[in-house]
Amino acid sequence: MSKSKGDRYERRLVNLLDAAGFVVMRSPSSGSATEREQPDVYAARDGERYAFEVKYLGQGEDYTYLDGEEIEALEEFARVADAIPLVVGRWWRKPTFRLYFGRELPETDGGNYRLDRDVPPIEVLSDGGGGPDADDLRRREVIP
């Protein structure tokens, strides 16, 4: 997958959250540009706070792995920011963002986590074309 496609979907998530009334910050190159623990996207609205690690899976990719340290960094940022840490999967040609709690993804023997198309998400947000959108995060009460 090209980095530009991952960036594009981070920006699309930012726009989706912004349209739902969240204040949103994106940390480009969060995994490589800094030693600080920060998510790809941070969003807040009326006492709700979310830290998102976004993964784009390209054509023919059904899964990817997240390093255990990546999940720990996301959770540490969320703890300090009093936010809910979520992993977001976006698959090629699918108009949805699938949300997961990182520690609920299948763990590998090496302490990493597998983001897999077959793992049911805790929430699905539509990126156009109908279906649940970012406004539904709180109302659905799927996310505590």
Assessment of whether the complete model's pTM goes beyond 0.75: yes
Q: Is 109 exposed, middle or buried (0-12, 13-18, 19+ CB in 10 A)?
A: exposed
End-to-end Cα spacing for the chain: 32
Exposure string of 89-102, with b = 16+ CB inside 10 Å and e = fewer, is bbbeeeebbbbbbb
Beta bridge pairs of residue 87? 53, 100
Mean pLDDT of 62-83: 93
At residue 13, the pLDDT reads 92
Beta bridge pairs of residue 100? 87
CATH number of the domain located at residue range(s) 3-139 in this protein: 3.40.1350.10
The pLDDT confidence band at residue 9, using thresholds 50, 70 and 90, is confident
pLDDT tens across 125-139, in order?
A: 887 655 556 666 654
Reply yes or no on whether 30 is catalytic.
yes
The residue among 95 and 65 whose pLDDT is bigger is: 65
At residue 143, the pLDDT reads 46
Q: Which of 2, 4, 30, 32 is flagged as catalytic?
A: 30
